[in-house]
Amino acid sequence: MRIAVMGTGYVGLVTGATLAASGHDVACLDILPERVAALNAGECPIFEPGLPELLAAGLASGKLRGSGEMADEISAADLTFICVGTPSRDNGSMDMAQVESAAAAIGDVLAGGEREHVVVVKSTVLPRMTEELVLPRVLERSGRDRASVGFAMNPEFLREGSAVADALAPDRIVIGAADRLALAKMRELYAGAKCPVLECDPRTAEMVKYASNAFLAAKVSYANEVANLCEAWGIDFATVAEGMGLDDRISPRFLRAGAGYGGSCFPKDVKALRAAAAAENLPAAMLDATLAVNESQPLLLVAWAHDALGSLEGKRVAILGLAFKPETDDVREARATVVAHALLEAGASVVGCDPQAAKNFSALCDIEIAPSAEAALAGADCAILMTEWPEYAALPPAAFAERMARPLLLDGRRAFDAAAMRNAGVEYRAIGLGGNE
């Protein structure tokens, strides 16, 4: 099939590259010539394992290309995927300006034509947006009727750090088709799928995406709240989580205690769902609690640093890991940002390091950036692990005991062996450890 993908951000690039790898002819569209040129030169603008190689393979095969010729590419395509951003406003609600603009652009291109075309919303949008915003805007601008233009919502379930694997071998495909044309084309697109395929209407597909992310975020916050109780009562939450996870109704996934979740999906989606509920006076107590726990959780580490050091004024604190999770350079809603700002407000001197995200983090928070963990630890009064990059989790106790002015390690991700650290003379504390070794 011939496919146009609007947007060359995270979702657009992964979607385009994996569709091309499946044998489809894909044009990734962008209005900025420099982005198109960079894509066609094989340059990957984000750090995502496997994506540069997938882009290179698509370009080499001729199945993938970047293009700024929106009219030509959309008019010749069978499907146009909308993969543009849906950022949060200050009040948590979703900004649909890019989606609305994309819908209008598609409508303008389709005006006067008769060839069948299906518009697929891949961007994360709230329930009813495909039917009540995208569909009418495309039809209004195109002057076409529903017979020759189909609409579908096809949410993405990509995890940063493993997005390529998730896209090539998904655990599910959700097709929210608004009409028979869209359903037929989407069935053709995913004919070789080896995973469960759920067919539904667009608003249900939209809600599947939000409900999934909100549930996982709630599970993280619940685990952290229970871990905090365990900490107070001298119980190791890791063992509690193991016992809980043996129940297959619960499962062990997302039951790790830590400093909270971040990234481009969980925070934004929970906030948007809560804001949408509030706009219609619908209760959302679980969403409120999920967000509240996640906002307070990273501040525990700052409080612990204050308790141990007496005052943070003038103290040097090293933050190991700035990305919201390993294997990405994404710092959106990273809990390290919350910790860094709180430390700076308390008068601490903050130095951070990260294998991939240091540059992006510097745009959000003005701290010293060290070239390595060892350099960050040198002379530090406290170290806080915020991202469990493998190279940080593998640091030996001696790296802390011998380099730091005071070997105080606060583990925000439960990545280190408590007994090994304490035996080496490191003051070690981790969320949910409960004082146990």
CA distances from residue 361 to 177, 261, 301, 400 in whole angstroms, order as listed: 39, 16, 19, 24
153: tokens are 């919502």
Q: What is the pLDDT of residues 306-345, one digit of tens each?
A: 999 999 999 999 999 999 999 999 999 999 999 999 999 9
Closest CA to 392 of 320, 326, 322: 320
Residues 321, 257, 241, 272, Cα dihedral to 10°: -100
Q: So what CATH class is 234-437?
A: alpha beta
What value does the mean pLDDT of the chain take? 96
Q: Summarize the confidence of residues 361-367 as an average pLDDT.
A: 96
Q: What is the pLDDT of residues 395-425, one digit of tens each?
A: 999 999 999 999 999 999 999 999 999 999 9
Q: So what CATH class is 2-200?
A: alpha beta
pLDDT of 112 higher than 90: no
Q: Summarize the confidence of residues 361-376 as an average pLDDT.
A: 97
Residue intervals in the chain for CATH 3.40.50.720: 2-200, 234-437
Confidence of residue 304 (pLDDT cuts 50, 70, 90): very high
Q: What is the pLDDT of residues 17-60, one digit of tens each?
A: 999 999 999 999 999 999 999 999 999 999 999 999 999 999 99
Residues marked active site are found at 265
pLDDT of 436 higher than 80: no
pLDDT in the model for residue 264: 87
Closest CA to 323 of 434, 160, 159: 160
pLDDT in the model for residue 68: 95
Q: What is the pLDDT of residues 154-182, one digit of tens each?
A: 999 999 999 999 999 999 999 999 999 99
pLDDT in the model for residue 222: 98
CB 108 within 8 A of CB 142: yes
175 phi and psi angles, rounded to 5 deg:
-110, 110
Q: What is the pLDDT of residues 60-84, one digit of tens each?
A: 999 999 999 999 999 999 999 999 9
pLDDT in the model for residue 434: 85
The residue whose two tokens read 């994309």 is 102
For 53-121, strand residue ranges (E) read 64-67, 79-82, 117-121
Contacts 24+ apart (CB under 8 A), 373-378: 373/318, 373/320, 373/399, 374/399, 374/403, 376/318, 376/319, 376/320, 376/351, 376/352, 377/318, 377/403, 377/404, 378/403, 378/404
Handedness of CA 198, 203, 209, 212 (dihedral sign): negative
Distance CA 116, CA 22 (A): 22
pLDDT in the model for residue 110: 97
